[in-house]
Chains A and B, each alone.
Chain A
Amino acid sequence: MTTTRQHSDELHLALYRKMFQIRRFEEEAARAYAQGKIGGFLHLYIGQEAVAVGAVASLQPTDYAITTYRDHGLALARGMTSRAAMAELFGKVTGCSKGLGGSMHFFDAEHNMLGGYGIVGGHVPLAVGTAFASKYREDGRVAIVFLGEGAVSIGDFHEGMSLASLWKLPIVIVVENNEYAMGTSLARTLSVEDVSLKAVGYGMARDRFFATHVLEVHDRIGEAIERARTTSEPTLVEVRTYRFRGHSMSDPGKYRTPDELEERKRKDPLMVSRAELEGKGHQEALQKIEAEIEAEIEDAIRFADESPEPGPELLEATTYKGAFAR
């Protein structure tokens, strides 16, 4: 295991900035949801930010990333603007998917964020397919895919794993084990507690750790990315994490105790980084970052509010170039 101390404070501050951006973005999104400005599902990533931020920091801009419906964190980590993300939640044409996708379907092709997907596990073969394309073209790109521990039971996960390993494809498959799939705890969804064991039967490399520190996430997933890039070998990485909010906005959350939640919040990786950076004398830099992010999120809300909605002329144009029935 690499220690987190070898990294510059500049990197740590940059990652803190991203995590803080995601946190504040989603807190404000939750508020906007309560005001009726956002509809449908809204799956928050609050508590898990260190996973996407740490992982993305080890990627090259040309690498591919794909995730589930819990996708705001990855999109922002990859460089989507707060404006494009918030406008998407508000269903505006200035949103990353023109207001047609919504919270679950953030896409940003320019930043190689190849989408958030709503059918559990269905995106895993897609991600393996992007790794297949890299190998086919020999262009050195790596793919990374994120899924929940609940998705590990579904067939598409296993077919994706099997083929990634059989064909030695350059991919990192990250299971974000936040211990719950909606209201179902890990123990009621899998027959083993160690999710990374799923790699064994496929002859795939594996890793497993707690996302306690963003720099450790960066290093550990970085190793897997390096393996993919240099030897074209896939890795299954189980990152143990926790979501602080409900599954989506309407989750009563009765499946866990307030004590459990409070205990996990005390280990919040965002706060761990903040305390550490503060201890190293970066008080001023932190305050600057936080003030800038506050302004950025405020601006994103205003932008989303003021942006126009998509019109019906977009619907057929974005479906396909083909014939339509009436």
Chain B
Amino acid sequence: MTVLRYREAVRAAMIEEMERDERVYLIGEEVGAYQGAYKVSEGMLERFGPKRVIDAPITESGFTGISIGAAMVGLRPIVEYMTWNFSAVAFDQILNNAAKIRQMSGGQLHVPIVLRAPNGSARQVGSQHSHAMEHFYAHVPGLKVLAPATPADAKGLLKAAIRDEDPVLFMESETLYNVKGEVPDDPDFIVPMGQARVAREGKDVSIIAYGRPVHVALEAAALLEKEGIDAEVVDLRSLRPLDEQALVRTVQKTHRAVLTYEGWPYGGVGGEIVDRIQRLAFDELDAPILRVTFRDVPMPYNAKLEQYVLPQPDRIADAVREVLYRKG
């Protein structure tokens, strides 16, 4: 075990896989000479050279399409967006090409590509730079979507993604990059996709989250503990595939669930989770499932309003009291 920051864990996964497999390369804006907009790829240009660590101009649609093309014929690209917000410019490539080529070709071709970037809110970067893009992508069959909350999961899941034969979208977080955690050194340490993790054991209520909000959920659980409420926190880690059994298990135990994530309340990943739980564990539920998300507006710049829009521990705690009928 080594203690790594989240950004170092992502970097370690890329370096190990690039050393293991010559077909893997990294492309994106400022990933090379500038050492990464968020320093995730620091040192990688020096290590692998400009053939495999490629600085691209501001051409998200172009370098995504080019990498999908390269993947179709045998390379294994890792595409970094400066943030997931800018993947919107490449949305057509991801939706219409990456996700469809396997089926359109009757299974003759496939696209082993990883698309990765920080996702969701940062700090006061305004409405065009604060999107939770996983909701758009998790909708699409043909795309796998991962959102690790810890350095160990970041490394293990990214390695699984790079070794996967299909497009995998990897959601990091700018506000997690400095978080430290123990990470296994074994070069074959892999976290399989589609397996949730219990981040905190509890018996009274399940708080289900992924990515950065897992840490917010843990803060909420600490608040609730003071009131004698024992919350379980489930970290999904993987949104597609989704670990249904973990959802069922936690609800069998607590009979109540609150979901929290970034992104708007209308539809999205949360709607999917609610559907699975009510379909697979209807009889286990003692209360309606509640969600704590962005409020249903674009992200404002003002710092207090941004905090108002974001899921907060106290909003999660309120929702928990509500599903426990302890409100007011």
Using a CB–CB distance below 8 Å, which chain A residues touch chain B? 39-41, 91-92, 97, 99-105, 117-122, 150-151, 153-156, 181-184, 188-190, 254-255, 309-310, 312, 314-316, 319, 324-326
Taking the complex as formed, is B297 at the interface, i.e. its CB lies under 8 A from any CB of chain A? yes
Taking a contact as CB atoms under 8 Å apart, the answer to whether A119 and B33 are in contact is no
Taking the complex as formed, is B89 at the interface, i.e. its CB lies under 8 A from any CB of chain A? yes
B58: which A residues are within 8 A, CB to CB? Answer: 120-121, 150-151, 153-154, 181, 189
Taking a contact as CB atoms under 8 Å apart, the answer to whether A99 and B301 are in contact is yes
Annotate B291-328 by CB proximity to A: 1 below 8 A, 0 otherwise. 00001111011111100110000000000000000000
Chain B interfacial residues counted at CB < 8 A: 39
Instruction: Give min CB distance, A3 to chain B, whole Å.
Output: 37
A92: which B residues are within 8 A, CB to CB? Answer: 302
Given contacts A104-B128, A181-B58, A310-B305, contact A315 B300 (CB under 8 A): yes
Instruction: Give min CB distance, B213 to chain A, whole Å.
Output: 18
B300: which A residues are within 8 A, CB to CB? Answer: 99-100, 310, 315
Instruction: Give min CB distance, B212 to chain A, whole Å.
Output: 17
Taking a contact as CB atoms under 8 Å apart, the answer to whether B301 and A182 are in contact is no
Taking a contact as CB atoms under 8 Å apart, the answer to whether A40 and B123 are in contact is yes
Taking a contact as CB atoms under 8 Å apart, the answer to whether A184 and B30 are in contact is yes
Taking a contact as CB atoms under 8 Å apart, the answer to whether B34 and A326 are in contact is no
Partner of A183, one of B34, B89, B128, B309: B34
Given contacts A102-B125, A181-B58, A319-B298, 4 further A-B contacts (CB under 8 A): A100-B300, A154-B58, A155-B62, A255-B33
Residue of B nearest to A104 (CB): B126
Interface of A is mostly: loop
B266: which A residues are within 8 A, CB to CB? Answer: 325
Taking a contact as CB atoms under 8 Å apart, the answer to whether A183 and B305 are in contact is no
Taking the complex as formed, is B181 at the interface, i.e. its CB lies under 8 A from any CB of chain A? no
Residue of B nearest to A191 (CB): B57
Taking the complex as formed, is B61 at the interface, i.e. its CB lies under 8 A from any CB of chain A? yes
Partner of B88, one of A104, A105, A119, A189: A119
Taking a contact as CB atoms under 8 Å apart, the answer to whether A189 and B125 are in contact is no
Instruction: Give min CB distance, B259 to chain A, whole Å.
Output: 14
Given contacts A182-B30, A183-B33, contact A155 B61 (CB under 8 A): yes
A151: which B residues are within 8 A, CB to CB? Answer: 58
Residue of A nearest to B34 (CB): A183
Taking the complex as formed, is B264 at the interface, i.e. its CB lies under 8 A from any CB of chain A? yes
Taking a contact as CB atoms under 8 Å apart, the answer to whether B128 and A117 are in contact is yes
Taking a contact as CB atoms under 8 Å apart, the answer to whether B303 and A39 are in contact is yes
Taking the complex as formed, is B100 at the interface, i.e. its CB lies under 8 A from any CB of chain A? no
Taking the complex as formed, is B252 at the interface, i.e. its CB lies under 8 A from any CB of chain A? no
Taking a contact as CB atoms under 8 Å apart, the answer to whether A184 and B305 are in contact is no
Given contacts A183-B33, A189-B57, contact A310 B302 (CB under 8 A): yes
Taking a contact as CB atoms under 8 Å apart, the answer to whether A326 and B297 are in contact is no
Taking a contact as CB atoms under 8 Å apart, the answer to whether B124 and A325 are in contact is no
- Chain B contacts with A in 117-150, Cβ cutoff 8 A: 122-129
Partner of B85, one of A104, A119, A183: A119
Taking a contact as CB atoms under 8 Å apart, the answer to whether B296 and A324 are in contact is yes
Taking the complex as formed, is B265 at the interface, i.e. its CB lies under 8 A from any CB of chain A? yes
Annotate B234-266 by CB proximity to A: 1 below 8 A, 0 otherwise. 000000000000000000000000000000111
Taking the complex as formed, is B229 at the interface, i.e. its CB lies under 8 A from any CB of chain A? no
Residue of B nearest to A154 (CB): B58
In angstroms, Cα B57 to Cα A102, docked, is 26
Taking a contact as CB atoms under 8 Å apart, the answer to whether B128 and A118 are in contact is yes
- Chain B contacts with A in 31-49, Cβ cutoff 8 A: 33-34, 37
